[in-house]
Amino acid sequence: MYHKYNNIEVIIIAKATLKSIPVSQDEIVDLQIESMAYDNAAVARYKDFVIFVDRGAPGDVVKAQITTLRPNYARAKIVEIKTSSSEYRIDAPCKLYKVCGGCQWQHLPYEKQLEQKDLLMEQFTSRLQLKNGVVKHIVGVKDVIASEAKQSRSHRQEQIEIASSQQVAPRNDIWNYRNKVQYPVRTVESTGRLKAGYYEWHSNDLVNIKYCPIGNELFDSVVETVRELAPKYNIVAYDGKTKKGWLRHICVRQALSTGATLLTLVVINEKLSRSQDFVNELINKHPALVGVCFNVNIGTTNVIYGPKTHVIQGNGYIFENIKGINYKISATSFFQVNSIQAEKMLDIVDQLAPLSGDEKILDAYSGVGLITLYLAKKVKKVIGIEEIKQSIEDAEFSAKKNNLSNACFINGKVENKIEDILENEKPDVVILDPPRGGCSKTVLQNLLDSKCNKIIYVSCNPATLVRDLEILCENMNPFEIQSIQPIDMFPHTYHIESVVSLERNKK
């Protein structure tokens, strides 16, 4: 993914020829770090040539070894930190930080993480331009909203009591915030024990994680129990090369509002000898588990989940309450990983789409209906489009549970469904919340051709956001950007969520 960022980064840098590159492969050079990049690296320049330094921090003066060489940039690893700024570099609290690919910015104080995300958003949006080269002026890029709790004192105390009853630490604002983990697994041949965790950065080497500071501590305990029980029940990690083994991923998710926790094991088949005994041991040790599922994935891609999920015991879903709406979330359904920040995101959407109560809303890429059902309380009708059938089923169940009869959902790809909905329903506001790849050109062109005057674009990738905004704002009868509000959904990582308000240019 960083390659996409680099492609944007080097737009403002004169393209270098191989002869003019001032560094060579494996060379060690002295560098001063300027700022953070949109990945695990920081930005330095050597004779005006950009070098991305893994795990660097602004203010560092380092010796770094060139590891990757390209015509327009290089990557390097730190050999020695000669000096550093105490304002920008701290000791990362996670012992696995230097090898784990899960977090990239733990070595920065949180307020500096926010500062650097503000700078990155400025860099991305400053490159937003029309095809004729005219820079698109944006007056509404706001500071990133920090991950600070927005809860009543009584609600926060309730979460503390729930956590205490489960003998785990309560989730706070920048640590233990993830409501889901998905760990790939490997079996150690010499011991038969399972390894489970994240991969090293740009590597297939698996880091065995016993404690993850951005996840819920209960997740660590549940995963450890699966490790401990694996030899007893002959559970072996699946090896894609030999086609042997059974277990592919360990996935745990929890509802912040209730503490209800769901364990899903992604496996090659649902056949496990003494599976009920195995599950009974898990639930006896972890009463917060409301269900254990086996999801069957026989595919050869890097997609985690397969099409079929078998509930072995309990429920195959949990309920999360966000701003008074009870959302059903099944084992394989997508939901925002930071529940506290998801509430703030809904507030932002609400503020940017002032509603009178008589509007029709189209929510593209609606998932389990996080935005759809929240807005259903405020408008005449809301329509969600979602490709994943399980998410549609969850959303429809939640609509009935919350008595929201004005919310309806359509199963299918957005690019295949949006034209008819725009033509027949004529929504007043369109919500776009695509995956990291952004929207297809078909979707964007349908919006340009429609009579819709208002778009709220929720993005988790500034690079594809800028690409899509250029299309929406540069064609005939284009939209204009009213504001861009970043929000920090993922503390200690480089990821940035943004909510963008666009209105049709009526000139």
Determine the Cα–Cα distance for residues 56 and 58; give it in Å rounded to an integer.
Answer: 7
90's tokens? 């701290």
Q: Is 251 a catalytic residue?
A: no
The answer to whether 326 and 350 have CB atoms below 8 angstroms apart is: no
R_g of the chain computed on alpha carbons: 24
C-alpha of 258 from chain center? 22
The residue from 103, 293, 460, 473 that is catalytic is 460
Q: Give the span between the Cα atoms of 245 and 276, in whole angstroms.
A: 19
Reported in sequence order, the residue ranges of 16-120 that DSSP labels E, i.e. its strands, are 28-36, 41-46, 49-54, 61-69, 74-83
Greatest alpha-carbon span in the chain:
71
Backbone angles phi, psi at 285, to 5 degrees: -80, -25
Q: Give the count of beta carbons closer than 10 Å to the beta carbon of residue 220.
A: 18
Q: Which of 130, 125, 127 is nearest to 141 (CA)?
A: 125
Q: What are the CA-CA distances from residue 43 to residues 71, 108, 257, 433 (Å)?
A: 16, 14, 40, 30
Q: What is the DSSP letter of 207?
A: P
Q: Which residues contact 237 (CB under 8 A, 6 or more apart)?
A: 185, 186, 187, 194, 195, 245, 246, 247, 248
Q: Residue 419 burial by CB count (10 A; 0-12/13-18/19+): exposed, middle or buried?
A: middle
Strands 317-322 and 325-330 turn out to be antiparallel
- Any idea how long the chain is? 507
CA distance 454 to 361: 10
CA 76 from centroid of its chain's CA atoms:
26
Q: What is the helix, strand, coil percentage profile of the chain, to 5? A: 25, 30, 45
Nearest to 138 by CA among 506, 487, 497, 485: 485
| SS3 assignment, position 12 | helix
CB 74 within 8 A of CB 66: yes
d(CA 291, CA 325): 22
Distance CA 92, CA 300 (A): 36
What's the count of helices (H) and strands (E) in the chain, helices before strands? 11, 20
What are the residue numbers of the active site?
460
